[in-house]
């Protein structure tokens, strides 16, 4: 049974991380509105893909939270949604963020 669980986990992980990914540290800002107030928090990516990133930010969010993400290097902005929240480390929370129809050059790279 344990082997089956490992295989199942491995398959789910592959599906979640489908597509090209690049290890890249990009400074970013997450922006959202809550209780009528505008909020933002700064963080950085661990890896990026055309559809999102794994980021570290000093605030945790609920899975499903919608926000905007700004690439601090080129200023590009896209709607985003939290699809995975990992562990809280010394520098912040690991967050899996999915971009919603980002500009083709959101990261400034060709994938």
* pLDDT tens figures, 48-59: 999 999 999 999
- How far is it, in rounded angstroms, from Cα 67 to Cα 69? 7
Please, which pLDDT band fits residue 109 given cuts at 50, 70 and 90?
confident
Region 98-109: mean pLDDT is: 93
pLDDT in tens, 18-39: 567 888 899 999 999 999 999 9
- In angstroms, the Cα distances linking 45 to 36, 49, 57, 81, 106 are 28, 10, 9, 15, 13
């Amino acid at each position: 049974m344990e082997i089956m669980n490992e295989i199942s986990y491995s398959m789910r992980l592959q599906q979640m991380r489908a597509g090209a990914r690049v290890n890249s540290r990009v400074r970013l800002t997450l922006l959202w509105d809550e209780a009528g107030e505008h909020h933002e928090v700064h963080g950085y990516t661990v890896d990026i893909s055309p559809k999102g990133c794994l980021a570290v930010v000093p605030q945790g969010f609920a899975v499903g939270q919608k926000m905007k993400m700004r690439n601090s290097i080129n200023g590009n902005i896209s709607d985003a949604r939290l699809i995975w929240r990992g562990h809280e480390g010394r520098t912040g929370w690991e967050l899996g963020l999915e971009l919603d129809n980002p500009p083709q050059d959101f990261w400034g790279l060709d994938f």
